[in-house]
């Protein structure tokens, strides 16, 4: 008699990650001073810790996280949920090596985890997850006008000041 699986691997993975997320959210740092529409405090904590490790300047971390939340607000829910699952997977994968989540590791352990386990490791899925998270953080970071002088970028060549889109104005009204 052959047993058929009634639950897909993806559904099981999503269930385990969401269960773990609900169990660990009360232990996360409190980010009540900032209002986020898509990301919860657990996901924000992962993003902040990852951004601290990869960004050259940590002064803009909360602006970067706020902008990521803004971008995730106006995309399809499948895209934003995939981004959230990528954050969970990246954070939980460190449990296999350190018995701690990525956001709970020391700075030295985080650097070792990224360099030796993710980048130099054999798990192509985790390399892809890390690279996608890293590139999205970089994209948002270098979009900030404060970083332009550091990379010797003078701004838009047209010289026209940036005009906020309706989407950005709507998001600003929602969070304030």
Residue 87: inside a domain: yes
pLDDT in tens, 8-61: 766 666 666 665 654 554 444 545 556 778 899 899 999 999 999 999 878 889
Q: Extract the tokens encoding 162.
A: 């940036």
Domain count along the chain: 1
Q: Extract the tokens encoding 13.
A: 């993975």
Helix spans in the chain (H): 9-24, 41-54, 61-73, 77-93, 95-98, 107-112, 124-141, 166-175
Residue 93 burial (C-beta neighbours within 10 Å; 0-12, 13-18, 19+)? buried
Residue 118: inside a domain: yes
Q: Extract the tokens encoding 117.
A: 């386990």
pTM for the structure as a whole: 0.76
**Where residue 132 falls among pLDDT bands split at 50, 70, 90?**
very high
How much is the average pLDDT of 72-76? 91
Residue 136 burial (C-beta neighbours within 10 Å; 0-12, 13-18, 19+)? middle
Residue 160: inside a domain: no
Question: Dihedral sign, CA of 133, 139, 140, 142?
Answer: positive
Domain of residue 59, residue span: 41-151
Residue 9: inside a domain: no
Residue 58: inside a domain: yes
């Amino acid at each position: 008699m052959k047993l058929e699986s009634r639950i897909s691997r993806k559904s099981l993975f999503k269930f385990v990650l969401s269960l773990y997320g609900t169990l660990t959210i009360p232990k996360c740092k409190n980010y009540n001073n900032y209002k986020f529409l898509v990301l919860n405090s657990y996901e924000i904590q992962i993003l902040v810790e990852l951004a601290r490790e990869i960004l050259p300047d940590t002064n803009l971390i909360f602006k970067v996280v706020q902008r990521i939340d803004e971008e995730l607000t106006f995309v399809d829910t499948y895209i934003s949920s995939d981004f959230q699952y990528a954050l969970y997977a990246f954070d939980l994968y460190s449990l296999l090596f350190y018995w701690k989540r990525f956001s709970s590791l020391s700075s030295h352990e985080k650097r070792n985890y990224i360099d030796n386990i993710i980048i130099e490791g054999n798990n192509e899925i985790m390399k892809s997850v890390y690279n996608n998270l890293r590139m999205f953080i970089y994209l948002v970071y270098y979009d900030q006008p404060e970083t332009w002088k550091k990379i010797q970028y003078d701004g838009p060549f047209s010289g026209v000041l940036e005009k906020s889109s309706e989407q950005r104005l709507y998001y600003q009204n929602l969070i304030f």
